[in-house]
Amino acid sequence: MTDEDASAETERDDERGDGEFVFGAVADAEEASAATAADGPGVVGPSPGLDPGEALRVQLDAIEASDVDAAAARAAGDVPGCVRTLFDFAAPGFREAHGDLDGFAATFLGAIYDRLVGARTVERGPGERDGDRYVQAVLARHPDGDRTYEFVLAEQAGGKYDGCWLTEAVDMTYDGESPSFRRTPTVTFGDRSVTCEVGDQLRAVLLAADGHSPHNDVTQVANCGGNGLCGTCAVSCDGEVDEMGDREQRRLSLPPHETESGLRLSCQTHVQGDVVVEKGGGYWGQHVEEVGVGGEGADDGDGDGAVDGDAGGGDAGVDADALVDPASVVAVTDAEYAGEYDYGTDGPGTAAANGGGGR
C-alpha cells in the first residue's frame, strides 16, 4: 500500500468514525466476529437469518439510538450512522435509484425523510406479510412534528443478498399521526421480541411466544391460570405497562414477594408500549438478583439455585441483541457505497470484481 493509499484509507476511516454505531456488515466472518467483540451485540447487517420484522427493527433501532440534526448533517455532507444502516438494508434497486451512499443520504436528510432519521422515537404499526413482500407503517415522533411512513420490504431472490429481507421503498403516508395508525408494542423477553396490541395481557403475550413462559419449573403447569392468586408469574418490567391494581398489590405484599422488589404479576399487567421483561430465579421468580431467562440466571425452583435443563424455556446463553450469527451477515462493500457495484453480474465468485472490502 502506498502512502497515498494509506492516507485515503485513513480519511475513509475518519468519515466512518462519526461517534455513532455502524450497524452495517463487515467483509467476512473473521472481521464480523472482531467487530462484534469490539462494538458489542447489536451490530447487525443484512442476513438471511433475519425475518422481515427483525430487519426493519434493526433499522428503526438505529434511528432511535442516534441523535441526528438532519439539516446540519446535510449541510456538512455527513452520513449519520442510522442513514448508513438504512442503506445497508436497502434493496439493490432502491440503492441504485439514489446513485451512491452520498445520494442516498442527501435524500434521507431532505425534507421528506428528515423527521424519520431525526426522530426521537419510532412507533411500530402492525406488519403485514404477503409471500415475499412485507409492509409496515411506522410513526416517527419528532420535535418539529410527527410523520407517518410506510416501509416496504421484499425477500431477495438470487444474487449476494439471496434470502435477505431488504427495503424496497419508504413512503411518507401522512404529515402527522395518521388517523388509521395503530401502534403495536414490542415485548422483549430473553432472546425473543414479539409484537402485540396495546392493552394485551403480558402473561398471554409471553405464553404465545414459543418457548417463553413467565413461570419457572413446575409452576408452568401448577399455577392459578392467570387469576392473580399464586404469584408465580412475577416478572420485572422495563417499559410501558399499566398501573398496578388492588389484587396485584395484595398478592405482591405477601411472602415470598416484597412490594419493594418492583416486580409485576404478568397476569395482571397490560402492555401499553414497548417493554423489556426479565424473569428472576426461585419458585415464584422472587429472586430479582438472579434475573435471567431459560438457563441464564433463573434457577429451577428446587432450592439448589441451579438450573436443570431449560427451566425458563428460552435459549441458554443467547444475548437479547444477538439477532444473527455474525458469519451469516452479508458484507456491504465499498463499491456498493460508491454506487459502482454491478448487481446484474452479482453471484458467487464476483465479490472481488465488485469491490470487496465491506465496512
pLDDT for res 191: 76
- Residues 97-142: tens digit of each pLDDT: 999 999 999 999 999 999 999 999 999 998 899 999 999 999 999 9
Sheet of 165-174, strands arranged across: 121-130, 133-141, 147-155, 165-174
Q: Residue 214 and residue 205: Cα distance in Å, rounded?
A: 10
Radius of gyration of the chain, Cα coordinates, nearest whole angstrom: 23
Q: Residue 48 and residue 35: Cα distance in Å, rounded?
A: 19
pLDDT for res 350: 40
Cis peptide before 256 (omega within 30 of 0): yes
Residue written as cell 434493496?
A: 91
Percent of the chain with pLDDT over 90: 61
Percent of the chain with pLDDT over 70: 74
Backbone φ, ψ for residue 237 (5° rounding): -125, 125
Q: Do 347 and 355 touch, CB atoms closer than 8 A?
A: no
Domain 3-184+322-345 in CATH 3.40.1350: no
Q: Residue 70 and residue 73: Cα distance in Å, rounded?
A: 5
| CATH number, span 192-292 | 3.10.20.30
Q: Residue 142 and residue 114: Cα distance in Å, rounded?
A: 9
Q: How confident is the model at residue 195 (pLDDT cuts 50, 70, 90)?
A: confident
pLDDT for res 324: 76
Domain ranges of the chain: 3-184+322-345, 192-292
Distances (CA, A) of 50 to 44, 47, 203, 319, 325: 10, 6, 26, 15, 10
- Residues 291-322: tens digit of each pLDDT: 544 333 344 333 333 333 333 333 322 333 45
The model carries a pTM of 0.67
pLDDT for res 211: 67
207-215's contacts with Cβ under 8 Å and 24+ in sequence apart are 211/294, 211/313, 211/314, 212/293, 212/294, 212/312, 212/313, 212/314, 213/312, 213/313, 214/266, 214/267, 214/277, 214/279, 214/285, 215/285
pLDDT for res 27: 31
